């Protein structure tokens, strides 16, 4: 069974449709990338999955359960999802360790000692063992984003949502963060990510989706989308990415 299915999802803001009937399936261990211009609806799609936005039509199922049902336990759904934001959104008043252990302890009822042990293991795995007691302000952007990923990972989510996680970083730091995501893929994590890093996207994705004006215009394996896109609009978008030197 698919981890996530979206059927005919619509989202309107102020009479303007941002998502126009999105259909999408994500299988276990699959990495799905969403590409498209700003305002094409990529981020809104992720926010709908996370129930940060209420869909205006259609349905989203997580492991077969309809999460867009008004009677659903929203916190219960979010417990099973991990999201990482473009701007990190770490809690500035907490140490790295407290940022990571907050949800395991408060939401999942993990004992303090165990939560901290697991957090230390994750920090070590991703090369941040020295930073456990540091505050977010004392870290570089790349380190902060890695902590944010670890924070999302600490609750062992069923599905990870990554929203332009490298957009606020300079190239060297981008590499740090992309390294982590690659490692996550190898460990079998199911992920949906939005990105402007096309070569990374081609490299890591199992499926690439091109969104345009709230419509999922084209979907397929990266080789197909990047080499022989069907739609003129996709070609146009990839062409402009190429010309801007971001490929």
Partner 1 sequence: MSEWVKSDRQKERERVRTVRARRSASIATVSTVVFIVLVVWLVTNSPGWPRVSETFFDREQLVKALPDVLSGFWLNIKIFLIAEPLILVVGLLVALARGITTPAFFPIRALATLYTDIFRGVPTILVIYLVGFGLPALRLQGVPTDLATLGVIALTLSYGAYVAEVFRSGIESIHPSQVAAARSLGLSHVRTMRFVVLPQATRRVVPPLLNDFVSLQKDTALVATIGPLEALRQAQIHAASTFNYTPYLVAALLFILLTIPMARLTDHLAARTRRRRGA
Q: Name every residue whose Cβ is closer than 8 Å to that of residue 13 and which is 6 or more positions away in sequence.
A: none
Q: Which is nearer to partner 1, 52 or 132 (CB)?
A: 52
Q: Which is nearer to partner 1, 69 or 236 (CB)?
A: 69
In the complex, the smallest distance separating the C-beta of residue 215 from partner 1, rounded to whole angstroms, is 5
In the complex, the smallest distance separating the C-beta of residue 36 from partner 1, rounded to whole angstroms, is 14
Contact between 96 and 110 (Cβ < 8 Å): no
Separation of alpha carbons 94 and 139, rounded Å: 13
In the complex, the smallest distance separating the C-beta of residue 51 from partner 1, rounded to whole angstroms, is 14
In the complex, the smallest distance separating the C-beta of residue 170 from partner 1, rounded to whole angstroms, is 18
- The residues of the shown chain that bind partner 1, judged by CB under 8 A, are 8, 10, 12, 17, 20-21, 56-59, 68-71, 213, 215
Q: Which is nearer to partner 1, 10 or 247 (CB)?
A: 10
Q: Name every residue whose Cβ is closer than 8 Å to that of residue 114 and which is 6 or more positions away in sequence.
A: none
Q: Which is nearer to partner 1, 53 or 63 (CB)?
A: 53
Cα angle 94, 90, 179; round to 5: 120
Cα angle 175, 165, 119; round to 5: 85
Angstrom CA distances, 163 to 65, 133, 134, stand at: 23, 26, 25
In the complex, the smallest distance separating the C-beta of residue 175 from partner 1, rounded to whole angstroms, is 27
Q: Which is nearer to partner 1, 190 or 234 (CB)?
A: 234
Q: Does an H or E element contain 187, and which?
A: none
């Amino acid at each position: 069974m698919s981890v996530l299915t979206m059927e005919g999802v619509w989202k309107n803001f102020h009479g303007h449709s941002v998502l126009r009937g999105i259909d999408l399936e994500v299988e276990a261990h699959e990495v799905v990338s969403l590409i498209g211009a700003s305002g094409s609806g990529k981020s809104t799609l992720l926010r709908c999955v996370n129930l940060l936005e209420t869909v205006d039509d259609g349905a989203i199922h997580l492991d077969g359960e309809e999460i867009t049902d008004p009677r659903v336990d929203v916190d219960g759904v979010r417990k099973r999802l991990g999201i990482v934001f473009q701007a990190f959104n770490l809690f500035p008043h907490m140490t790295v360790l407290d940022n990571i252990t907050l949800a395991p302890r408060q939401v999942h009822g993990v004992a303090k000692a165990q939560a901290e042990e697991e957090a230390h293991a994750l920090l070590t795995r991703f090369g941040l063992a020295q930073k456990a007691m540091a505050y977010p302000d004392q870290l570089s952007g790349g380190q902060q984003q890695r902590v944010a990923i670890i924070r999302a990972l600490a609750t062992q989510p069923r599905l990870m949502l990554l929203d332009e996680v490298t957009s606020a970083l300079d190239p060297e730091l981008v590499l740090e963060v992309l390294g982590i995501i690659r490692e996550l893929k190898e460990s079998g994590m199911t992920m949906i990510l939005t990105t402007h890093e096309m070569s990374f996207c081609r490299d890591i994705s199992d499926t690439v989706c091109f969104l345009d004006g709230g419509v999922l215009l084209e979907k397929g394996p990266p080789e197909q989308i990047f080499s022989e896109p069907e739609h003129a609009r996709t070609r146009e978008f990839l062409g402009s990415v190429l010309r801007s030197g971001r490929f």
